[in-house]
């Protein structure tokens, strides 16, 4: 037998362990969340700082180069009998001593341009405090830095287009034992002297600053983690004590609760001893009530049918009386011959046959046979119509019938006919009671996705929205109490949904439309 992990005996331990797990998980999640958020914010700040640093350095070197150009322009305007070569020599000496930056180790360098298109010997190095070995020598634009970048071709292309260029490349850093570092330089062309004046800064300083910041962040994260662990320990101790007292309270509650449950269980067991018998008795009572309601509904339908048969027989009886009167008159006038008698006998036989068929329909409708069979929808509807058609004609109600053939369903055919007759009678009564102009009733049936879909509609006033949900309730009726028992629609729905496994619904659409949906039968099932 498996051991239950949680019961009143070990509840104290379960609560304490769960509390510990929840506290540790919560504090771990919180610590992880805030520390990871700090590092994420640091990454965002790092990107922002790099961008700001880059822009700041661009402004610095741009400003230095502009200062040199401004000085050259000033010297040209105030040269006082100096030759161009003298001024260039003086400016070169001055530029050679320019230093800028936080550590004063950045410098300005100048090319004497020979060919802006580049290639071999495109310029002569005039000033370069970092590479005195190149001063006075011709240089090539095809020179590549350690990464393979031809940065001189890049800045020459920019100068040809707009006279200036920002270019990054790897170059020797002063005072760094010949180490190569990433450098950003600004080049500006001075066409009057055919100079390319440039200044550059090294970008590795930002990495040192960011690394320093990261070290500070690591120290702060460790400090916060230590603080979190101290808080966890305090809360952890408090939680254990609190959980213990809480578990004791819950255990006492469980004991009281078990006692109450035991008492109620005994009461329920006593109550359930005769429950099955009582349920069977109630089911039997409900079955008897349904049988009584069906019987009552059929008796009500009997009255309707007798009234309809009276309508159907009135004309044949009148015609039969006319035949007898004609025979009597011919006999008195001695004009009665064999041919005439034969003709009138045939007419009387036809009338008698029609009246006999009405009796057959009446007898079949109220047959006590409850055996389920397969039957055709169109034939059953026609049986119901044969009873009510004369009454519809008497009330000048136009009837439209459009029923697809071979709609075969399973059930008690007489019950289905009772449903159709009830819906037709309700439609007729509604049209007559409301004095509907040009009253009409339509019966339509077709196959839809394996179901026989039957609609019985009229052009009356429809179903009032306030009672639409109640019309299928037993003993609910809109007619006077003396005219209706209120069980016709209830029994119709019961027959369709319980005995025919279908659905009976209603909607308003230029009058009331009752919709019957019954599963079709493709093959003959085993019927009992």
3-state secondary structure labels for all residues of 6-75:
CCCCCHHHHHHHHHHHHHHHHHHHHHHHHHHHHHHHHHHHHHHHHHHHHHHHHHHHHHHHHHHHHHHHHH
Assess whether pLDDT exceeds 60 at residue 433: yes
Assess whether pLDDT exceeds 60 at residue 497: yes
Residue recorded with tokens 């009671």: 433
Domain identity same for 429 and 446: yes
Domain identity same for 12 and 55: yes
Q: Which of 185-199, 235-249, 379-393, 431-445 has the lowest mean pLDDT?
A: 235-249
Give the end-to-end CA distance of the chain in Å, rounded to a whole number: 50
Assign residue 193 the CATH number of its domain. Answer: 3.30.450.20
Residue recorded with tokens 């350690």: 146
Number of domains observed in the structure of the chain: 3
CB 440 within 8 A of CB 459: yes
CA distances from 141 to 61, 113, 150, 198 (A): 22, 11, 7, 15
- Comparison of pLDDT for 527 and 438, the residue scoring more: 438
Domain identity same for 193 and 119: yes
End residue of a domain, out of 173, 202, 231: 202
Domain identity same for 117 and 179: yes
Task: Tell me whether residue 87 is in a domain.
Answer: no
Q: What is the mean pLDDT of residues 279-289?
A: 70
pLDDT of residue 302: 56
Residue 140: domain span: 95-202
End residue of a domain, out of 256, 273, 290: 273
Percent of the chain whose pLDDT exceeds 70:
75
């Amino acid at each position: 037998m498996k051991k239950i992990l949680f019961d009143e005996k070990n509840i104290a331990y379960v609560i304490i362990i769960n509390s510990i797990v929840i506290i540790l998980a919560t504090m771990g999640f919180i610590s992880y969340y805030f520390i990871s958020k700090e590092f994420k914010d640091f990454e965002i700040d790092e990107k922002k700082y790099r961008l700001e640093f880059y822009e700041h350095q661009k402004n610095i070197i741009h400003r230095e180069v502009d200062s040199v150009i401004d000085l050259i322009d000033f010297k040209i305007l105030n040269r006082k009998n100096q030759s161009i070569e003298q001024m260039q020599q003086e400016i070169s000496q001055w530029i050679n001593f320019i230093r800028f930056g936080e550590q004063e180790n950045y410098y300005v360098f100048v090319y004497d341009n020979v060919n802006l298109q580049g290639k071999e010997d495109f310029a002569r190095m005039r000033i370069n405090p970092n590479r005195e070995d190149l001063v006075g020598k011709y240089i090539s634009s095809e020179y590549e830095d350690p990464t393979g970048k031809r940065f001189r071709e890049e800045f020459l292309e920019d100068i040809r287009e707009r006279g200036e260029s920002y270019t990054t490349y790897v170059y020797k850093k002063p005072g760094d034992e010949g180490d190569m570092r990433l450098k950003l330089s600004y080049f500006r062309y001075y066409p009057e002297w055919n100079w390319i004046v440039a200044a550059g800064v090294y970008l590795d300083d930002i990495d040192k600053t960011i690394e320093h910041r990261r070290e500070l962040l690591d120290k702060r994260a460790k400090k916060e983690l230590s603080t979190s662990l101290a808080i966890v320990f305090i809360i952890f101790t408090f939680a254990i004590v609190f959980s213990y007292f809480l578990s004791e309270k819950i255990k006492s509650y469980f004991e009281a609760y078990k006692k109450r449950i035991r008492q109620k269980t005994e009461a329920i067991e006593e109550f359930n001893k005769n429950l099955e018998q009582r349920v069977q008795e109630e089911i039997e009572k409900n079955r008897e009530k349904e049988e009584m309601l069906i019987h009552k509904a059929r008796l009500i339908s009997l009255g309707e049918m007798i009234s309809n048969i009276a309508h159907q027989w009135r004309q044949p009886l009148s015609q039969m009386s006319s035949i007898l009167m004609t025979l009597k008159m011919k006999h008195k006038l001695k004009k009665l011959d064999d041919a005439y008698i034969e003709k009138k006998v045939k007419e009387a036989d036809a009338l008698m046959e029609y009246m006999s068929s009405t009796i057959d329909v009446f007898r079949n409708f109220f047959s006590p046979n409850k055996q389920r069979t397969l039957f055709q929808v169109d034939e059953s509807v026609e049986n119901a119509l044969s009873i009510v058609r004369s009454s519809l004609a008497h009330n000048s109600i136009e009837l439209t019938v459009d029923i697809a053939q071979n709609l075969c369903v399973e059930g008690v055919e007489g019950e289905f006919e009772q449903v159709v007759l009830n819906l037709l009678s309700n439609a007729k009564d509604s049209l007559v009671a409301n004095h509907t102009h040009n009253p009409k009733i339509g019966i339509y049936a077709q196959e839809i996705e394996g179901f026989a879909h039957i609609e019985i509609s009229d052009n009356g006033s429809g179903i009032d929205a306030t009672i639409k949900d109640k019309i299928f309730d037993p003993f609910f009726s809109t007619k006077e109490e003396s005219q209706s028992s209120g069980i016709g629609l209830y029994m119709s729905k019961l027959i369709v949904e319980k005995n025919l496994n279908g659905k009976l619904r209603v909607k308003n659409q230029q009058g009331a439309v009752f919709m019957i949906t019954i599963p079709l039968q493709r093959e003959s099932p085993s019927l009992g």
